[in-house]
Chain A
Amino acid sequence: MQVLRRLSILSIVMALALVSPALAQPFNWQQAKGTQLRVLLNKHPWQAAIEPHLKEFEALTGITLVAEVYPEDQFRAKVLVELTSGSSSIDVFMSMPAQEGLKYMRAGWLQPVDEFLKNPALTAPDYHWNDFLEKTREAMVVEGKLVGPPIQVENTSLMYRKDVFQKYNVKVPTTLDELEAAAKALNGKAMTDDGQPGFGIVARGKRAAATSQFAAYLHAMGSTWIGPNREPMFNNEEGVKALEFYGRMLRTYGPPGSENNHWYEASSIFSQGKAAMYTDANSLFPVIEDAQKSKVVGKVGYALFPRGPKGQYGSTVASWGLAMPKSSKNQKAAWLFMQWATAKEQVLAVQSEKGVLGARESVWKDPKGLTKVPADLRESLTVGSKVGTPLWNPPVVAVAECRDAIGAAIVTSIQGGDVKAAANKAAADVKRIMAETEKK
């Protein structure tokens, strides 16, 4: 009798436990209804893709959005001026923590969102944080605190002209040595629409902008920015080799004036058919596959960045994300926006509509998410995001300043100057900058 009663009580309790999630409240998207959010966006394919959908957010939540879009340089300067003045009204802004996260965090400008994420009242049950690629989740964490959700992912990869490689029977490089051999073999060969000769390789050379792409070469050679003792390491033997390699490649097989090329110029040269290879962020593929402006549509292969002499991977993993200023007065509403913008539905939308490389695994597994992305890009992205290093920037506080110091060495290498001396100078500069800006 006793046992039966206990069993029945147990079964009732278990039944209730199974039923209760179904009885739980649906997630309340309207909990911040009536708020107005000011969102600052950098001019970027993700921003272009999400903008048409913003009114869906407003309808869902009753929150009004004021979205402001600026080109990157102006965007960064504006965010800085506002946050420094202490009188900012920004609620959400696009951010790459590897670029400014450490500085912003230490300056007290960021509101970590861990608590928001963990709170079931504020985060929808189907948000699935672990659906984001592991390295992108890591990229959004600064000093143990979560800055916000990632909105996309990209690697430094090798983009190459399939037709040119085929025509001249050159093997697609998988190592740095093969990369140089291919550049040498194809430099000066006819490769444009009208049979004009082109360059073996093109890449960024413009000071700070080149640093993020050079990172791949640096890591493939087996070096990195900062050593375990927080001392600059990129001027060690492998680092100098990487610098020499990068400069030599551009100087000998690249376009003249490479030291002034940002991705705008480099991608333009490649998409006009004037280069056989291009190492840069694979998120640039919409630009290269733009039927209206590019002459190499459908002819480009997207490969994993070549490995180094000892087999090291060079691929980097970078992620733009969303961040919330500590000074925001609408933090709950801001989190709702950050969440919505990176929910599976929206990530699928931007990826399938504009080819933005989203950061969610489930979207990559969804056939709809693959419609705009070339198959080999998907493959190299998947591998690259797993083996890649998130250190496309030196892990310091004063990133911009260090990037300029290192960029100067890259420029010297391209110009054919004394690379070892330049590398040592850059390391000394970085050391000084770190000492000045990182006192705890």
Chain B
Amino acid sequence: MSSGTGWSRFVERHPVPVFTFPSVVVVAVLMAFPVLYTLYMSVHSWFASSLTSPAFVGLANFRRAFLDDERFRNALWLTVYFTALATVLQLVLGVALALLLNRPFRGKGLVRSIFLLPMVATPVAIALVWMMMYNPTLGVMNYLVGLVGLGPYNWVSNAAIVVPALAVVDTWEWTPLITLITLAGLATLPLEPYESALIDGASAAQMFWRITLPLLRPTIIVALLFRAIDCLKTFDIIYVMTQGGPGFASETLNVYTFQVGLFYFHIGYASSLLVILFALVLGVSLVLIKVRRGSW
């Protein structure tokens, strides 16, 4: 019965705040101090020390990043490059694989299980194994590409191909996610458009481009959103495999910020870089959310 104590009546009238309160509070508390700390530090300059305090510098850190810091601009470009390359690769491969798997056959469950494995394997462990495989003199990757007459390559030791080599690792890890999401999406597609298209004599390719793809669009964009957020922030595999090298050829914004903060002790500047990175992720997310909701 909905009579009773004042508390249960309160819950009855305001279910949303009560039910969501614990989650919101926990997230808010865990994030509040770091967010405030980072924002505060981003407008200060502080070379970590017990003897000096942070000095207020307004927007100087941000100005410096965009105007004076070549390494920052490099990091920004590499972040976008890596993200774009990895997400496009995963998307194309993932959707293609989904289309291929989208038919009944025996062992489908087994196949899906196998697909899951790259996604759930511990990234640090995976990064180390790939590092081993990519070794220019001892690694198995050079052996394999040698079998088809290519290589040998320096992979992650080569400034020109290190980002693609890293993107391959990310693609290996996450294409299965795209495939699984797409498969689920395909399962919900309606029959009628296809039936009418068949009657009109459309080819398989036409049906794919004109019916399947547009219908799948919202699903694909959400998958893209998740992957884009994660790729922009990728840290584990890059840090473990190259630490941003050779030279600075794979130093994405996240890796650069780690160096600036934890190895160079420039807490203020690192904080401003974090704000910029967050703004980038937020910006990309908003764009993708809008694309999904809007023009279609």
Contact = CB atoms under 8 A, between A and B. Distances in A.
Decide if A and B touch, CB cutoff 8 A: yes
A401 B264 contact: yes
A415 B136 contact: no
Interface in B155-211: 155-159
In this complex, which of A80, A272, A436 has the most chain B Cβ atoms within 10 angstroms of its Cβ?
A80
B15 interface: no
A272 B135 CA distance: 14
Nearest to A402: B264
A343 B23 CA distance: 56
A255 B136 CA distance: 9
Contacts of B159: 259, 411, 415
A335 interface: no
B246 interface: yes
B263 A411 contact: no
Interface string A379-421: 0000000000000000000101100100110011001000000
Interface in A255-296: 255-261, 265, 269, 272, 274
B246 A269 contact: no
B47 interface: yes
Nearest to A274: B137
Please report whether the interface of chain A is mostly helix, strand, loop or mixed according to DSSP. helix
B263 A77 contact: yes
A107 B246 contact: no
B157 A256 contact: yes
Contact of A84 (B154, B247, B267): B267
Interface in A82-124: 83-84, 86, 103, 106-109
B263 A107 contact: no
A411 B247 contact: yes
B245 A260 contact: yes
Contact of B246 (A81, A106, A260): A260
> Dominant SS at the B interface?
loop
A108 B51 contact: yes
B259 interface: yes
Interface string B256-269: 00010011110100
A437 interface: yes
B49 interface: yes
Contacts of B48: 80, 83-84, 107
In this complex, the interface size class of chain A, counting residues with CB under 8 Å from chain B, is 35 or more
Contacts of B47: 107, 398, 436-437
Interface in A222-264: 255-261
Residue among A77, A106, A260 with the highest chain B CB neighbour number at 10 A: A260
A38 interface: no
Given A77-B262, A400-B263, A437-B47, A256 B246 contact: no
Contact of B247 (A107, A207, A261, A269): A207
Interface in A57-87: 76-77, 80-81, 83-84, 86
A304 B159 CA distance: 33
Given A259-B159, A408-B247, A411-B246, A106 B49 contact: yes
Contacts of A401: 263-264
Contact of A259 (B49, B50, B245, B264): B245
Nearest to B50: A108
A77 B47 CA distance: 15
Contacts of A106: 49, 51
A51 to B, nearest CB: 25
Interface residues of B, number: 29
Given A84-B267, A207-B247, A411-B246, A260 B157 contact: yes
B51 A412 contact: no
B23 to A, nearest CB: 28
Contact of A260 (B52, B156, B248, B259): B156
B79 interface: no
A137 interface: no
A326 interface: yes
B249 to A, nearest CB: 9
Contacts of B264: 398, 400-401
A161 interface: no
Interface string B32-51: 00000000000000011111
Contacts of A205: 246
Contacts of A327: 50
A307 interface: no
Interface string B130-169: 0000011110000000000000101111110000000000
Given A77-B262, A84-B267, A411-B245, A107 B157 contact: no
Nearest to A81: B262
Contacts of B52: 107
A400 B261 CA distance: 11
Nearest to A80: B262
A257 B245 contact: no
B254 interface: no
B242 interface: yes
Given A206-B246, A256-B136, A411-B245, A107 B50 contact: yes
A401 B51 CA distance: 21
A257 B136 contact: yes
Contact of A257 (B49, B154, B263): B154
Interface of B: 47-52, 135-138, 152, 154-159, 242-243, 245-248, 259, 262-265, 267
Complex A-B, nearest 10 residue pairs according to Cβ-Cβ distance, in ascending order: A257-B157, A107-B49, A260-B157, A108-B51, A411-B247, A257-B136, A108-B50, A259-B246, A257-B154, A401-B264
15 contacts: A77-B263, A106-B49, A106-B51, A107-B47, A107-B48, A107-B51, A207-B245, A207-B247, A400-B263, A401-B264, A408-B247, A408-B248, A411-B247, A415-B159, A415-B246
Given A404-B259, A412-B247, 19 more contacts: A77-B263, A84-B48, A86-B50, A103-B265, A107-B47, A107-B51, A206-B245, A207-B245, A256-B154, A257-B158, A260-B154, A260-B242, A265-B135, A327-B50, A398-B264, A400-B259, A401-B263, A407-B247, A408-B247
